[in-house]
């Protein structure tokens, strides 16, 4: 499987990563999915301390223990569970980050994290303090590199200018092309990679798209628009491409994207995505047609 350099780091990540949030709490089932991922050449696994109140990290750590030196484990911090676990609140403070990383390391069963990501962020945060925490953890050898998970251009710009982050995880797909307007150009300028989440738009860009359309629509697409658009895309490319392939290859065609992180709750679902990224890249004509069919939307808030 193709691997791409993550920003200015020395990490080479598989072009499709496994988003582990959807693995669930069945350890045996999760292990089966992870083994298929490993056998297919996937080396990038993304989790967070928030998922299943840390249990996801435990499952991932155990499942990858036998190949730890061969894989890249990414996890996240910033959403702090309340004492009674009735919910969580935002805490990007240096004190919390340096305490939370110890717990993540323990759950993952490792002495280092390859990519430690801030799980959100606002422009009102004490950004310099957060960066200081990540830099100290890097100096201590606890983390190898750090990044953020954000869709806010003003936050992304601030971190790009002030930090040594190597990546930004952001939602990006054929149905959510907002990063193309501001965020991606900022990252290109600073040599920072995009890790794309939601490339299949909650299944709307998979072969099962008709079953995934809700009355709420998706972002600025109404349900009526989706019922016209998605079958049209399918029809235009039916002879040569699956919906999964169109969707993943569209995102990967952007040179700033290092990896598409797609979740999988079953082995067949993962295998479908692996087949999709095994197809040839989209041609210029295919890319242009997809851009014409979809909206080049932008963020209404958190602009620069």
Using CA atoms, how far residue 59 sits from 103, 160, 269, in Å, is 14, 32, 19
Which residues sit opposite 45 in a β-bridge?
Answer: 18, 73
The 10s digit of each residue's pLDDT in 137-194 is 999 999 999 999 999 999 999 999 999 999 999 999 999 999 999 999 999 999 999 9
Residue ranges of alpha helices (H) inside 181-257 are 183-190, 223-237, 243-252
- Sketch the domain layout of the chain as residue ranges: 3-200+254-278
Residue ranges of alpha helices (H) inside 114-222 are 127-139, 153-162, 183-190
Confidence (pLDDT) at 261: 96
- The active-site residue out of 44, 51, 159, 172 is 51
Alpha carbon distance 234, 184 (integer Å): 27
Please tell me the CATH superfamily of domain 3-200+254-278, with its number. Answer: NADP-dependent oxidoreductase domain (3.20.20.100)
pLDDT in tens, the chain (304 residues): 999 999 999 999 999 999 999 988 889 999 999 999 999 999 999 999 988 888 899 999 999 999 999 999 999 999 887 878 788 889 999 999 999 999 999 999 999 999 999 999 999 999 999 999 999 999 999 999 999 999 999 999 999 999 999 999 999 999 999 999 999 999 999 999 999 999 999 999 998 999 999 999 999 999 999 999 999 999 998 778 899 999 999 999 999 999 999 998 999 999 999 999 999 999 999 999 999 999 988 888 888 8
Alpha carbon distance 150, 268 (integer Å): 30
pTM listed for this prediction: 0.94
Confidence (pLDDT) at 176: 96
For the question of residue 221 being annotated catalytic, the response is no
Confidence (pLDDT) at 251: 97
Specify whether the CB–CB gap between 179 and 188 falls below 8 A: no
Residue ranges of alpha helices (H) inside 109-146 are 127-139
Specify whether the CB–CB gap between 2 and 14 falls below 8 A: yes
Alpha carbon distance 103, 1 (integer Å): 32
């Amino acid at each position: 499987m193709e691997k791409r350099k993550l920003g200015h780091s020395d990490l080479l990540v598989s072009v499709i990563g496994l988003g582990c949030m959807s693995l669930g709490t069945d350890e045996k089932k999760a292990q089966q999915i992870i083994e298929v991922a490993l056998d297919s050449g996937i080396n990038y696994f993304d989790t967070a301390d928030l998922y299943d109140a840390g249990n996801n990290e435990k499952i991932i750590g155990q499942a990858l223990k036998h190949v730890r030196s061969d894989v890249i484990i990414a996890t996240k911090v910033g959403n702090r569970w309340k004492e009674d676990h009735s919910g969580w609140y935002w805490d990007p403070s240096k004190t919390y980050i340096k305490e939370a990383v110890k717990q993540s390391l323990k759950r993952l069963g490792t002495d280092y994290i390859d990519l430690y990501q801030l799980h959100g962020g606002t422009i009102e945060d004490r950004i310099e303090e957060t960066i200081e925490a990540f830099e100290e953890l890097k100096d201590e050898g606890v983390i190898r590199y750090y990044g953020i998970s954000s869709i806010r251009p003003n936050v992304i710009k601030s971190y790009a200018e002030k930090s040594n982050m190597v990546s930004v995880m952001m939602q990006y797909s054929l149905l959510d092309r907002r990063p193309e307007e501001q965020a991606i150009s900022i990252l290109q300028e600073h040599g920072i990679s995009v890790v794309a989440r939601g490339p299949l738009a909650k299944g709307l860009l998979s072969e099962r798209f008709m079953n995934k359309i809700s009355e709420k629509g998706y972002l600025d697409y109404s349900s009526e628009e989706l019922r016209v658009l998605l079958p049209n895309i399918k029809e235009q490319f039916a002879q040569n491409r699956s919906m999964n392939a169109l969707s993943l290859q569209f995102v990967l065609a952007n040179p700033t994207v290092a990896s598409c992180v797609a979740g999988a709750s079953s082995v067949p679902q993962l295998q479908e995505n692996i087949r999709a990224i095994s197809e040839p890249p989209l041609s210029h004509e295919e890319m242009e047609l997809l851009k014409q069919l979809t909206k080049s939307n932008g963020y209404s808030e958190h602009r620069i």
